[in-house]
Amino acid sequence: MTRREPTVRGAWLVFAVGALAYVVTVGNRTSLAAAGLEAQARYGIGAGTLSSFAVLQFLVYAVLQVPIGVLIDRWGPRRLVIAGGIAMGGGQLLLALSTQTWQAVLARVLVGAGDAATFVSVLRVVTNWFPPQRVPVMTQLVGLFGQLGQVFSFVPLVALLHGPGWTAAYGGIAAFTVLTAVLCVLVLRDVPPGTVNPRAARPLREVLGDLRAALRHPGTRLGLWSHWATPFSGNAFAALWGYPFLVSGQGLGTGAAGALLTLYTVSAAGTGPLMGTLVARHPFRRSWIVLAIVGGQFVVWSVVLLWPGPAPLWVLAVMVVVVATGVPGSMIGFDYARTSNPVHRLGGATGMTNVMGFTATIVFIAAIGLLLDLQGAGTPATYSLGAFKVAFAVQFPLWSVGVVGILVSRRQTRALMARNGVVVPRMRDALRKGAVPHEGSGRA
C-alpha cells in the first residue's frame, strides 16, 4: 500500500459526504415544487403569496452568499455545511407543523439560510481536497449528485403527500436532513490530513478590499453574468412553477408532469460531466458554452410559448432537457471565479457569483406570481395556459441582460489577457490543440 492511497480514499469519502449534503440541500430547496397546489389549498393563498414563499427563500439565499463566502474563509466550510443542515432541518420541521401562512414563510426562510451555507462550502471542500486540474470535473459531479435531490423532492415527497399527508412528508425531510448533518460532523473535514488549514480571521477592511478586487477583475464579472443567465429558468421551473404550468397550463396528468420533472433532473445530472469535460479540455471557450446554453433555452421556450394551444408532449420533453442544461452550465461561473482570483479572496468571489443566478431566479419567480394574479389567474381554479405564457415570457429580457453582460465582460477579460501577453486563438485552433489558457486567468 502506498502512502498516497489513504489520501485518495479519504478525498473520495469526503467528496461523497459533501455531495450527499448537497443532494439533501437541493431536495430541501425544491421541496415545494410538487406541493405548490397542496400549499395553496392548505394555506388558502393565491399565486402571488405562493411565489413569496420561494422568493423569500431565494432572497435569503442570495443575500447571505457574500457573508457565507467570508465566513468560509474565517470558519472553514465544514462548520457551515453542518450549520446549514441544522437550519434546513428546523425549517422543514416548522413547515411540517405549520397551519398559518407566516409560519410557512418563516420555514422557507430557514431553508434558504441553510441552503445558502451549503453549496459554496462543499465547493470549497472540493477545491481543498482535489488537484486544480480535476476541480472543474469534480464541481460538475457535485452538481450532478445534487440533482438527485430533486428526485428526492419529486418522487418520495409526492408519495408521502398523497399518503400519510403534509406533516409526515415534511417531517421526514427534516429528520433526514438532520441525520445528514450528523454524518458531516463525523466525516467531513476542511482539508486533507497534514495540510495547513487556510482559515483566517481577517479584518473587515481587508475583506471588503478583497471583494472589491475580485469584482474589479473582468474574469470575475464574466463568471457573475454567466451565472445570471444560465440557471434561473430551470430554478423557477424545478423549484415552484414547473408542476402547475404542466398540469394546470399544459393540461398534463400528474403522472406525465412528474415524469417530465424527473426528466429535467436526469438531464441536468447527465449533462454535468459533459460540461465539466468540455471546460477542462477547452477552458478558453467557456463563454461559448454559456452562450450556447442560453441560446438553446431561448429557442425552446420560444417554441413552447408561441405554440398555438398546449404543446405536444415531445416538445415539452425537448424543452425540459434543454432548460436542464442551465444547471450544470451555471457551474462555469464558479470556474471563472476560481481562475480569476487568488485563494484568499475565493470565498467572496464565489459568493458574489452565486448571488447572480439566484437574483435572476428571484425576479423571475416573483414576476410569474405577480403576472398570474394581475391576469386574474392566481389560484389553481383559475390558472390558464394563456396567463402562464404571458408570465413565462419574463425570461426573455432577463436572458438579454445576461448576454450583454457576458459579451461586455468577455471583451474586457480578453483585453486584460492581451496586455499580459496571452492572445486568444481561433476556435478551430483551440479545438485542435485541446486545453488552452483560461479566460479570466490574467490577474488584475
Distance between CA 269 and CA 248 in Å, rounded? 27
Residue 163 covered by a domain: yes
Residue 33 covered by a domain: yes
Largest CA distance in the chain: 69
pLDDT, tens digit only, all 444 positions of the chain? 333 444 677 888 999 999 999 999 988 888 877 677 788 888 888 877 888 887 888 888 888 888 887 788 778 889 999 999 999 999 999 999 988 888 988 998 999 999 988 988 998 888 888 887 787 778 778 877 777 777 766 677 777 887 888 888 899 999 999 999 999 999 998 888 877 766 666 666 777 787 888 888 898 999 999 999 999 999 889 878 888 899 989 999 888 988 898 899 888 877 877 877 777 777 778 888 999 999 999 999 999 999 999 999 999 999 999 999 998 888 888 888 888 888 777 777 887 888 898 889 989 988 998 899 888 877 777 889 999 999 999 999 999 999 999 999 998 988 887 787 766 666 666 556 544 445 555 433
Q: Are 413 and 442 in contact (CB under 8 A)?
A: yes
Distance between CA 304 and CA 400 in Å, rounded? 19
Domain carrying residue 352:
8-189+201-433
C-alpha cell at 251: 393540461
Q: Write down the H helix ranges in 98-193.
A: 101-129, 135-161, 166-187
Q: Are 221 and 405 in contact (CB under 8 A)?
A: yes
Nearest to 140 by CA among 342, 333, 349: 333
Residue 114 covered by a domain: yes
Q: Which residue has the cell 479566460?
A: 439
pTM score, two decimals?
Answer: 0.74
Per the document, the length of the chain is: 444
Q: In total, how many domains does the chain have?
A: 1
The predicted structure's pLDDT at residue 61? 85
Residue 1 covered by a domain: no
Question: Which SS3 state, helix, strand or coil, does residue 331 take?
Answer: helix
Buried/exposed code over 92-113 (b: 16+ C-beta within 10 A; e: otherwise): bbbbbebeebeebbbbbbbbbb
Residue 3 covered by a domain: no
Nearest to 90 by CA among 113, 74, 64, 121: 113
Residue 438 covered by a domain: no
Distance between CA 213 and CA 42 in Å, rounded? 48
User: At residue 57, what are phi and psi to the nearest 5 degrees?
Assistant: -60, -50
**Domain CATH number, residue 231:** 1.20.1250.20
pLDDT tens digits, residue range 373-417? 888 877 777 889 999 999 999 999 999 999 999 999 998 988 887
Residue 196 covered by a domain: no
CA distances from 402 to 357, 391, 410 (A): 10, 19, 12
